[in-house]
Structure 1
Amino acid sequence: MTPPDGIRDIRDVRRVAEDALEWVDTRRAGFALGEDALAVDGEVDSSWKPLGELAQVCATVSRHTAPADPLHARARSLLDFAWRETEEGELFLRLQRLEPFATYPLEVYAALASAGFRHPAFEQAAAVVARTRGWRLTEQDPTRRLGVLRAEERCGIHRPAPGQPRTWLGGLPEPWTFGRDTGYALTHVVFHLTDWGRDAGGLPPALVTYLADWLPPWLDTCLEAGMWDLSAELLAVAAVVARPAGDPPPLDAWRRIGAAQCPTGEVPLERREPPPGGPGDDPGPPGDERYFLHHYHSTLMAAFAAVLTSERPAAPSAGPGARHRHGGQGAPA
């Protein structure tokens, strides 16, 4: 558990991840696919989306921890659970046949594929659909399109010179235009470009410089507003941006996330303050489905960010310019 006097050093940041994944482990049932997993009108956001997010975070945790690490073992166990929920990939193939132009099966599968789980028949079927003009010309917002492109690459599908979508972050916008929606969009652009923190060199230098300047005030704004979920995502971005230079982690920000984390490990989406004379928007008791939906994503993001933060290498000896010496020539197209 996080020490009662709060986060003091990088070891306490790691404990945020340990406590978060312990809670996730006890709530596996919330991530399980229901009987409507293959229904055309099924609730994707409450079935496949949580499972895919669980797989993506656990894939990252397993990559950034040693095999003998208990955190690694827990992440691999949760990945095994997620793969079994898909009937070892068979449900992806059935989904692809039912909804050939839906992108979410490929995106969830790609998260599992990044951890070594493969279903060749699904990949072959997905590759056939990906060659159609209908698939390649589907209209999507730029951040989503970037995510689909990365999912295709993980599954061995390569478009002929698709180019980078023009995203909000890629345009280096005026920093005062930052908001909740653009905040979530920018974090996912960074996640897609860096393979969810695996390759910090995937960020073009222009973005590294821009984010190094403006992440601190954006993060502080979100923390002040009690937006714990978006704050955790921004802390994950901060860890990626700081990695090449080995910059110290923002412990003050982590202290606020640690204070928001419940004793049992979960982190709420945001601070809930009841209005005067009223109960407020109560997410329900810990065993309630509403409680799970109000906590699972922010808890996963806290674990994700904490692992990226605590597993960063020490600062290199290359000098003050080291932060910008990695791949890429500019902002995304």
Structure 2
Amino acid sequence: MLSRTADSLFWLGRYSERAGNVARGLAATLRMALLAQPLSGAEKEWRALMVAAGCEPSFRDRYGGMLQEDAVHWLTLDPANPAGIAACIEAARRNARIVRTALTVDMWAAINDTWIEFRRLDGSAIRGDRLPGFLDWVTSRTLLFNGAAADTMLRDDAWRFTHLGTMLERADNTARLLDARHAAFAQGAAADAACYAQWQAVLRSVAALRAFQHVYHARLDPQRVAELLILRPELPRSLLACYRRVEQTLQAIALASGGAQGECHRLAGALHARLRYGRIEPIMESGLHGFLTGVIDENIRLGQEIAASYLSGRAA
């Protein structure tokens, strides 16, 4: 496979996944902001979302304060934000168009129809009571694309690079969501209603609130929430589950191209092994924030090494 084709497939997976992640994060933050409003804590909630999305500095440069209306517009319809939904949908469709012949009919329809419908929207789509419906629509379109890819693609290199981008983006999002609210998970933090709402918000952001109850059959607590999102293999958005798929996919790509492996394979294997044999107690004792920032940094490096080995030069 040509490196530029692999590059477009990889970024198609990343941008499509990122749009859905932003929509879920926004929906959870809206709920949290409503709860925090009487306590003047809404601004803190929007800042946490901006930090998780990796666009707080650029948002402050553009808007100054942290008003809800500005934050929602920046993360949804503002094309100047490369981490926003508008830019992600545009970039996903652009990359899909480049590799149109490598996609199935259902995958192309999912991406192209989303792009067409999105271009018809105006500012009223994110105002008032229409915003939750818009966010649900974005999430459902991401699920439609992922489902089309899972159900209709041949398990060849086109599938592998699309899936690789999706899993790398998903892992990055989970780590950033947890890290943005790491203070609520610190040992010794007061287990009050505010912290409980923070734990719930993180789970909602990765659609894992019901999964938590199914796995633990217990009330929320910081260690179990962190364990679910970091170390539980059953959860498809946990760090362990994502890096297991990243390592497996990279190995399949290497086998299909003659068996040669590089630094990206070593990094993926090391990340997966650390999580597979890790335990939540030492992670919490040594500091969740330090652990997660390390994972985020390694994820960036892994993306760079994947680009160096297989793609046409764009690093994550």
Q: If the TM-score is normalised by the length of the shorter chain, which range does it land in? A: under 0.3
Structure in which a larger fraction of residues adopt helix: 2
What is the TM-score with the length of structure 1 in the denominator? 0.26
